[in-house]
Amino acid sequence: MTISSAYIHIPFCQQICHYCDFTKFFYNERLADEYLDALYQEIHTYIPQEKAKVRTIFVGGGTPTVVTHKQLEKLLTMIDEHFDVSTCEEYTFEANPGDLDMEKVKLLKSYGVNRISLGVQVFDDEMLEKIGRVHRVKDVYTNIDRLMQVGLTNISIDLMYALPGQTVEGFEKTVDEAMQFGLPHYSSYSLQIEPKTVFYQRYKKGTLVKPPEDDEAEMYELLQRKLTANGVNQYEISNFAKPGFESKHNLTYWNNDYYYGIGAGSHGYMPGKRTINIRPLPAYVKQAMENGRPILHEESVGLKEQMEEEMFLGLRKASGVSLVGFERKFGRTLNEVFKGAVPNLKQRNLLIETEGNVRLTERGKLLGNEVFQEFLLDS
């Protein structure tokens, strides 16, 4: 059994963004101390003895860097105690611009963190305020400068489009400014209005209006065009990288490989099962401290589900799904399993078959959900 990655969730934020539906809570120093103790128990239950060798570690949130220096060092120490960081190819921390003072930057670097993912979203102070972000554009410049000073140059930034009041011209300005940094990785997501968010409540009341679908599609195409022209290639529906800087951790998900999911609300994938952890903070802490297994739900993943997920996840990648790889993994050809799905999608110009792979066309990327439906198997 090879578990290639670990995702560790830190659910605290200084402020809750209006669009966010991840497991998150307002930062409180006492609660964060209790949470880190519980997190230690959960990690120790998975890895009680010698350090686990994993290819990637991703510490996400929430905002992992919102904690105090002492708490951040405690977190880094417990990760170092349980995982062989020296052999880890990619060790990522998410951060909000403005959270990273020089002391925290040096601390991350000293514990082997080699990649930073910054939640920039837009280069527009007025828009940042509208979507509930606490940082401002100047903070992005300050934090990237600090990271560069200590040699943490493998930086990714997140951008958002189809935000309320956002125009194609406004998003183009954001992309142009983002490109000026010459970073190796960019992620970009359209706004999804999720239940239990501020934006959802406004949407239900009719006070929130997204840009027209045509504008959203134009923003996405603009993003693809500008990044590709600058040598930052699209390797997944929402992700772009210079050659060699594709996110190894995210490829764990899209390659349907196994990973630990640790922390409140985290999802994990182990041989034969997927797990979802308890979300509410007090319940997570209580269960983790009692037995180190704060699992809310565990479901078996049979052959049918594995084959469906291979397609849903694999087709997100620009390279698509390998026909030979599918047959090697499942002992049956892709066309045997999904019958007429591929010819049908090729005819509709949503899928293309090249060099032994099936992958989404440009139109298919815009209509991904229509494609994925074709790879649902009958029970």
From 298, 292, 300, 253, select the one nearest 46 (Cα to Cα).
292
170-199 average pLDDT score: 90
Say whether pLDDT at 368 is over 90: no
List pLDDT tens digits, range 45-94: 999 989 999 999 999 988 999 999 999 999 999 999 999 999 999 999 99
pLDDT reported for residue 203: 65
pLDDT reported for residue 40: 98
**What percentage of the chain reaches a pLDDT higher than 90?**
82
SS (H, E, C) 223-278: HHHHHHHCCCEEEECCEEECCCCCCHHHHHHHCCCCEEEECCCCEEEECCEEEEEC
Cα(71)–Cα(49) distance, integer angstroms: 23
List pLDDT tens digits, range 291-330: 999 999 999 999 999 999 999 999 999 999 999 999 999 9
pTM of the model: 0.93
Q: Pick 90 or 367 by higher pLDDT.
A: 90
Q: How confident is the model at residue 349 (pLDDT cuts 50, 70, 90)?
A: very high
pLDDT reported for residue 319: 94
Cα(332)–Cα(352) distance, integer angstroms: 20
Buried b (16+ CB within 10 A) or exposed e, 121-140: bbbbeebbeebbbbbebebb
**What percentage of the chain reaches a pLDDT higher than 70?**
96
6-34 average pLDDT score: 82
List pLDDT tens digits, range 197-245: 677 687 677 777 888 999 999 999 999 999 999 999 999 999 999 999 9
Domains and CATH numbers, the chain: 5-254 (3.80.30.20), 303-373 (1.10.10.920)
SS3 210: coil
pLDDT reported for residue 106: 98
Say whether pLDDT at 355 is over 90: no
Cα(187)–Cα(178) distance, integer angstroms: 11
Say whether pLDDT at 151 is over 90: yes
348-361 average pLDDT score: 94
